[in-house]
Structure formats: structure tokens, C-alpha cells
């Protein structure tokens, strides 16, 4: 299995040939899930003492398993937050595996860590954070938010200890009612209370409401989370008005920009993000709107030392690493072993240049606004909210949940699009989440036509 033999050469060629075809294909169908029973029937038993051989195993993947996975980078995949990796980023993901890189420590992965850190420093400066800001690429926004909030609570604990003040009976995080579910998940894992604050009429959390929450919950609040592009609507909280409160209250400001913070790279998105420069930590997921493959979240601390204090693991066998002053990515989040998962993004950014990213993000924002106008123009449709970034939420007048469900299933069955129902304030709607530069106005109007 480990030696270079003619059989292993053939296996590598087989896999690279499949990968090359998939990466360069522009007509991979949307595909759809199969039932467990059907997959069992089609794939049969694949694990045995003798092994199937690469030809048979790859054939089962190509003809049975892959078609049962929805093509998340398809231009008509418009649900949740789609994936839209560049060709360079996807191809380089193969290099990351081929090179057996360890991305946890400087000692083992200095070259990879250097490149990842250059990207993190570049992102930090785009977000207006000071020189010295830095962090780590973690698996996803959920882990990024959790790791940031753990660092925030650790900093608050240390601060209280220094001041000789008692810690509160319960620590609290303040966020919008529209914050991503991963904030509530972090609260459960950390055993802290999450205080949901109503958003304003546009859907954005505003400083006024946060002030009221800080007054009510006092010094038990260790962090305020502002969302930089809500998942459901792509609305950015009023970060500037929340950041101003730091003058009067002692809290860690975390920006959950998993989906939307990428829009700061575009002149069309940037104006929504005033105040991000005051953040203590931010996250943005390259696997969302920065055109990288799954899975990568950039977690950036204003003062990385606070992240390190919260997360460094200590063990005798790790002393060589932890006693060093070199930058070890493992120290900055709740993980140890890590893939150098920032490298596909680094390679693509280095290859195409930042301007190509700015243009691609601007194109999605423009398309979202164009299709929102089209929805407003069409009889029988209601735009739920004016979009800010690239999520467009709308209702088909008179439709109930069952109508959306039937329509959505039909769209996928007919392999036209993947658009699932969503809801807001108890009313069912649907949404286009646009991050793929290959999605066109015509794709979207064709989907609207199916709702006539
Ligand atoms: C605003 C926001 N935060 C956090 C997350 C969670 O990110 P992940 O799915 O990478 O864990 C998402 C996912 O869509 C998101 O949109």
C-alpha cells in the first residue's frame, strides 16, 4: 500500500484522471440524494478482507456515490450558502494532501504556516484590523465562532482576576435574534447564556438595542456578537453603533462574518461594514464567498496572544512546541492536529490576484440586486427585504409551505436548480444565495418562471 509500485502508480493516475475530469467539467449535473436502501443496493458491500481494487472502488464512487451527492458548486445551487471554488483552489487542495503537510506547528509546517499567515494578515488589513492581528484557519464558521468566544471568556476571566472582581454567576453573550445557530451552539458547549436581542426593521442589530441588553445584564456579558451578513438574509448588523459601546462597557466584540465579511473586498459591500476595525475577533469562511473548497474558516484575533492563552494545549510530548516562541496555528483554536486548509485559498489568491476576487464578489452583489428588482417587478411575487449583499429572499404570493416543498422537490427532480424553502416571522419563503460567479440573471429568471 505504501511502496511505489506499478500498481500504485496506476491507482494514482486513475484518481488524478478522475479529479482532472471533475475539476475541468462545466456540466456536472446537480444530482440528488438517494435513499439508504437504494445506495445499499447499488453500491453493495464495499469493505472486505481482500479489497475491491481501485478500478471497482472508483467506479462505485463515480457512478453510485458521487451522483447521490448534490453538486454544491453548480451555478443553480442557490440554497444555504453554496460553494464556488476557483479551479486553482480546488486543484491545489490535491497538493495539500499529496504533500502530507502538517499545519499545526511552525516546527513541522513552517512554509505552509507562513503562507497561511500571509493570507490572514492580508484579510486583517482588508478588515481594518491593526498590524499584529492574526489567527488560524479552522474547519468552519461554527468552530471559528466557538474558538473566538472561548478566547473572549478567558480574557474576561483573566481581567476580572486582575481587577479582583468576582466572576458572574452566569457568563453571557449578546447577539441578534437573527444570529447564526452556531452562536447558540457555542453557548451550549461553553455553558454560557446567549441573550438574543431583537433586530431593527431592516434586520440589522443596532447599538441602541445592544446598549439596553448591556444595561440589563451588566458585567455578566463577556462578548457581543455582531453578524456581518446574516445567513438567512445577508443583512449586516450596524457594527459601527455596536462598536461605539465599547467606550462605555467592557466586552469583547466578535464579528461573525462567515458568509458576508468577504463583501468587504468589494467597493459595493464595504460601506456596510463600518466598525469592523474595532473588533476583537472576526471570522470569514473562504469556503463560502472566497472561492475555496471545503473546509476553511479564517479566525482572526485583534490580539492573537489572547487566543493563544485560551487555546494552547499542554502535554509533555508537546513541550518542544509550546516552549518555542514560534507561531503554531494549533495554539489559536480548539484543535491540535490540523490540515493546512488555508493553502488552497492562498494558492488561488496568489495566482489570480486580489482584484479578481473583488470583481467576482461585486458581480454577485450586482446580480442579487438585479434579481431583487426583477422580483419586485413581477406580479405574484413579494420581495421580503431589500438585499444588502447577495442573498435575496422572496415569497410567491398565495403559496403555503406545501407549495414551496412540492416546487422545490420538482426543481431538483428535474435537475433545474436546488432552491429550498426557508421562512421568516412564521411565513414560508424561499431564497437565492448567490456566491457563484457562474450563476447568471437568466438562470434566476428561469427559476422564477417555474413558480408562475
Ligand atoms: C453567519 C454564519 N455564521 C456561521 C456559520 C457556520 O459556518 P460553518 O457551516 O462553516 O460551520 C454560517 C454558515 O452558513 C453562517 O452563515
Find out whether 336 and 104 touch, Cβ atoms under 8 Å. yes
Residue 319's pLDDT band, with cuts at 50, 70 and 90, is confident
Rounded to the nearest integer, the mean pLDDT of the chain is: 97
pLDDT of 196 higher than 90: yes
Question: Strands across the sheet with 421-424, in order?
Answer: 381-383, 391-396, 427-433, 421-424
Index of the ligand 1 atom closest to the CA of residue 260? 1
Q: Which of 285, 299, 333, 334 to mutate to test the pocket of ligand 1 (most atoms within 8 A of CB)?
A: 285
pLDDT of 143 higher than 90: yes
Q: Which of 79, 183, 229, 258 to mutate to test the pocket of ligand 1 (most atoms within 8 A of CB)?
A: 258
pLDDT of the residue at 316? 87
Q: Which of 77, 139, 178, 180 to mutate to test the pocket of ligand 1 (most atoms within 8 A of CB)?
A: 180
Residue 224's pLDDT band, with cuts at 50, 70 and 90, is very high
Average pLDDT over residues 17-43: 98
pLDDT of 374 higher than 90: yes
pLDDT of the residue at 320? 86
Residue 324's pLDDT band, with cuts at 50, 70 and 90, is confident
The Cβ of residue 446 has, within 10 Å, a number of other Cβ atoms equal to: 13
Residue 383's pLDDT band, with cuts at 50, 70 and 90, is very high
pLDDT of 318 higher than 90: no
Find out whether 242 and 213 touch, Cβ atoms under 8 Å. no
3-state helix, strand, coil in the chain (%, to 5): 50, 15, 40
**376 CA to centre of ligand 1 in angstroms:** 28
d(CA 184, CA 194): 6
CA distances for 303 relative to 110, 158, 255, angstroms: 21, 15, 14
Find out whether 432 and 391 touch, Cβ atoms under 8 Å. yes
Average pLDDT over residues 390-407: 98
Look up residue 138 and give its three cell numbers.
479552522
Report which protein residue has its CA nearest ligand 1's atom 7: 141
Cα torsion 235, 272, 348, 416 to 10°: value is 30
d(CA 249, CA 427): 37
Share of the chain above pLDDT 70, in %: 100
pLDDT of the residue at 323? 85
pLDDT of 75 higher than 90: yes
Average pLDDT over residues 21-27: 97
The model carries a pTM of: 0.98
Residue 126's pLDDT band, with cuts at 50, 70 and 90, is very high
Average pLDDT over residues 141-162: 97
**51 CA to centre of ligand 1 in angstroms:** 38
CA distances for 306 relative to 103, 132, 155, 181, 331, angstroms: 20, 12, 7, 25, 10
**296 CA to centre of ligand 1 in angstroms:** 11
Average pLDDT over residues 220-238: 97
Domains contained in the chain, CATH given: 1-30+33-69 (no CATH), 94-351 (3.40.640.10), 354-449 (3.90.1150.170)
**180 CA to centre of ligand 1 in angstroms:** 7
Index of the ligand 1 atom closest to the CA of residue 142? 11
pLDDT of the residue at 302? 98
140 C-beta closer than 6 A to ligand 1: yes
Let me know how many helices (H) and strands (E) the chain has, helices first: 16, 11
**258 CA to centre of ligand 1 in angstroms:** 5
Residue 322's pLDDT band, with cuts at 50, 70 and 90, is confident
Amino acid at each position: 500500500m505504501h511502496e511505489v509500485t506499478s500498481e500504485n502508480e496506476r491507482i494514482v493516475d486513475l484518481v488524478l484522471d478522475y479529479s482532472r475530469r471533475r475539476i475541468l467539467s462545466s456540466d456536472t449535473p446537480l444530482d440528488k440524494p438517494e435513499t439508504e436502501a437504494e445506495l445499499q443496493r447499488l453500491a453493495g458491500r464495499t469493505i472486505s478482507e481482500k479489497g475491491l481494487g481501485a478500478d471497482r472502488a472508483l467506479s462505485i464512487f463515480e457512478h453510485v456515490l458521487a451522483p447521490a451527492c448534490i453538486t454544491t458548486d453548480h451555478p443553480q445551487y442557490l440554497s444555504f450558502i453554496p460553494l464556488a471554488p476557483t479551479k486553482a483552489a480546488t486543484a491545489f487542495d490535491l497538493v495539500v494532501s499529496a504533500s502530507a503537510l502538517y499545519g499545526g506547528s511552525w516546527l513541522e509546517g513552517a512554509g505552509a504556516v507562513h503562507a497561511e499567515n500571509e493570507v490572514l494578515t492580508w484579510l486583517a488589513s482588508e478588515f481594518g484590523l491593526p498590524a499584529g492581528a492574526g489567527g488560524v484557519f479552522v474547519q468552519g464558521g461554527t468552530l471559528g465562532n466557538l474558538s473566538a468566544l472561548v478566547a473572549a471568556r478567558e480574557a474576561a476571566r483573566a481581567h476580572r482576576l486582575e481587577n479582583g472582581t468576582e466572576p458572574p454567576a452566569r457568563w453571557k453573550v449578546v447577539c441578534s435574534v437573527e444570529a447564526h445557530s452556531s452562536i447558540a451552539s457555542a453557548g451550549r458547549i461553553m455553558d454560557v447564556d446567549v441573550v438574543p436581542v431583537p433586530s431593527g426593521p431592516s434586520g440589522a442589530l443596532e447599538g441602541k438595542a445592544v446598549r439596553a441588553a448591556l444595561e440589563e445584564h451588566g458585567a455578566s456579558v463577556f462578548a457581543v456578537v455582531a453578524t456581518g451578513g446574516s445567513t438567512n438574509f445577508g443583512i449586516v448588523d450596524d457594527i459601527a453603533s455596536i462598536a461605539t459601546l465599547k467606550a462605555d462597557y467592557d466586552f469583547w466584540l466578535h464579528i461573525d462574518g462567515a458568509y458576508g465579511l468577504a463583501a468587504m473586498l468589494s467597493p459595493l459591500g464595504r460601506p456596510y461594514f463600518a466598525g469592523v476595525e474595532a473588533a476583537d475577533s472576526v471570522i470569514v469562511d473562504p469556503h463560502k464567498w472566497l472561492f475555496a473548497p471545503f473546509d476553511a474558516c479564517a479566525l482572526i484575533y485583534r490580539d492573537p496572544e489572547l487566543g493563544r492563552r485560551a487555546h494552547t494545549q499542554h502535554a509533555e510530548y508537546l513541550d518542544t512546541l509550546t516552549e518555542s516562541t514560534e507561531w503554531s496555528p494549533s495554539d489559536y483554536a480548539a484543535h491540535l492536529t490540523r490540515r493546512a486548509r488555508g493553502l488552497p485559498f492562498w494558492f488561488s489568491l496568489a495566482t489570480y490576484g486580489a482584484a479578481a476576487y473583488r470583481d467576482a464578489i461585486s458581480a454577485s452583489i450586482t446580480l442579487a440586486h438585479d434579481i431583487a428588482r426583477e422580483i419586485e417587478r413581477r406580479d405574484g411575487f413579494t420581495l421580503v427585504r431589500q438585499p444588502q449583499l447577495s442573498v435575496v429572499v422572496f415569497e410567491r404570493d398565495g403559496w403555503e409551505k406545501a407549495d414551496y416543498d412540492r416546487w422545490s422537490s420538482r426543481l431538483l427532480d428535474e435537475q433545474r436548480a436546488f432552491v429550498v424553502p426557508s421562512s421568516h416571522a412564521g411565513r414560508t419563503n424561499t431564497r437565492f444565495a448567490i456566491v457563484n460567479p457562474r450563476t447568471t440573471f437568466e438562470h434566476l429568471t428561469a427559476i422564477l418562471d417555474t413558480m408562475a
